[in-house]
């Protein structure tokens, strides 16, 4: 069997010169914790055009969280939580209902998919599900923000995170596009003293285990024979004084 890979020669030749250039990477589980990623997408029917990302590193019950958002309602607080204990999914458009005559998704509509609140991702103070869930003065404000905090989660939330079942939900929409939270969708299903716009889900992303390290993407079945052939050819060319030809030919090959 003879299979050729001047490509392999090219790679070897070029890589040999500078292997130390790639940035150092910490393996996700180097510290024994869990690394999780989420992409935050607009909740369907809520007229949101924003997006974002979330990363969580969980060590025991300590969760180090980074959330980046863009395109949310400006100058407004955005409640944000880990939701847990349901399907670990974001609600599809079919979960929306008519609220005050307008098809939209309130927080309750999405519960069968993302579940109840597991932790409140406040900027300071309490992070519990029960007491801090709508502490609007302690949530990030603005269209685009970066949130970073390490907080302690309870056992149920930690377990949900580890089993790829937790979901990041960022709340606060501007359904009628008037630049503020108002009552066009009626009062909030969570707190009747707040407008529904202030608590409806805006962005949602399931947290999933981040892969770690390179992949094992080959077994060499196109390499073994080659090397013999190339070695044979190379050896003959060395004898003939033509090794540079081999190298140039190998590099040019694609």
By CB under 5 A, name the binding residues for Cu ion. 81, 169
Beta carbon nearer to other proteins, 193 or 240? 240
Q: Which does 250 bind (CB under 5 to 8 A by kind): Cu ion, other proteins, none?
A: other proteins
Does 143 bind other proteins (CB under 8 A)? Our answer is no
Q: Which does 169 bind (CB under 5 to 8 A by kind): other proteins, Cu ion, none?
A: Cu ion
Binding mask 202-231 for other proteins (x = CB under 8 A): ---x--xxxxxxxxxxxxxxxxxxxx-xx-
How far apart are the C-alpha atoms of 179 and 153, rounded to whole Å?
Answer: 34
How far apart are the C-alpha atoms of 224 and 222, rounded to whole Å?
Answer: 6
Minimum distance of other proteins from residue 90's CB (angstroms): 9
Q: Which one of residues 43, 46, 54, 72 is an interface residue with other proteins (CB under 8 A)?
A: 54
Beta carbon nearer to other proteins, 58 or 230? 230
How far apart are the C-alpha atoms of 33 and 162, rounded to whole Å?
Answer: 9
Query: Kind and range of the H or E element at 98?
Result: strand 97-99
Q: Which residues pair with 57 in a beta bridge?
A: 35, 64
Q: Which one of residues 33, 39, 76, 141 is an interface residue with other proteins (CB under 8 A)?
A: 39
Q: Which one of residues 12, 74, 103, 192 is an interface residue with other proteins (CB under 8 A)?
A: 12
- What residues contact 238, with CB distance under 8 A and at least 6 apart? none
Query: Kind and range of the H or E element at 9?
Result: helix 6-15
Beta carbon nearer to other proteins, 67 or 132? 67
Query: Kind and range of the H or E element at 229?
Result: helix 224-240
Beta carbon nearer to other proteins, 92 or 125? 92
Beta carbon nearer to other proteins, 11 or 192? 11
- What residues contact 93, with CB distance under 8 A and at least 6 apart? 44, 45
Does 118 bind other proteins (CB under 8 A)? Our answer is no
Q: Are 52 and 202 in contact (CB under 8 A)?
A: no
Answer left, alpha or beta for residue 177, where phi above 0 means left and psi between -120 and 50 means alpha.
left
| Binding span for other proteins by CB under 8 A among 45-53, 96-104, 111-119, 153-161 | 45-53
């Amino acid at each position: 069997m003879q299979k050729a890979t001047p490509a392999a020669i090219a790679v070897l030749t070029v890589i040999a010169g500078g292997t130390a250039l790639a940035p150092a990477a910490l393996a996700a589980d180097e510290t024994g914790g869990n690394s999780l990623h989420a992409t935050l997408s607009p909740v369907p029917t809520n007229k949101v055009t924003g997006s974002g990302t979330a990363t969580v590193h969980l060590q025991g019950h300590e969760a180090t969280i980074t959330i980046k958002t863009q395109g949310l309602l400006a100058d407004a607080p955005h409640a944000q939580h880990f939701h847990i204990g349901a399907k670990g999914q974001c609600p599809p458009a079919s979960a929306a209902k008519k609220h005050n005559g307008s098809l939209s998704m309130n927080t309750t509509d999405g519960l069968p998919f993302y579940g109840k609140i597991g932790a409140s991702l406040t900027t300071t103070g309490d992070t519990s599900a029960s007491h801090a869930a709508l502490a609007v003065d302690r949530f990030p404000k603005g269209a685009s923000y970066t949130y970073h905090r390490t907080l302690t989660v309870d056992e149920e939330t930690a377990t949900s995170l580890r089993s790829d079942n937790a979901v990041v939900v960022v709340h606060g929409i501007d359904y009628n596009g008037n630049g503020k939270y108002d009552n066009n969708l009626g009062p909030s299903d969570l707190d009747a003293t707040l407008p529904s716009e202030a608590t409806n889900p805006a962005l949602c992303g399931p947290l999933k285990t981040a892969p770690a390290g390179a992949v094992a993407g080959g077994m060499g079945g196109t390499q073994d024979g080659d090397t013999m052939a190339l070695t044979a050819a190379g050896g003959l060319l060395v004898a003939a004084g033509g090794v540079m030809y081999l190298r140039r030919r190998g590099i040019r090959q694609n």
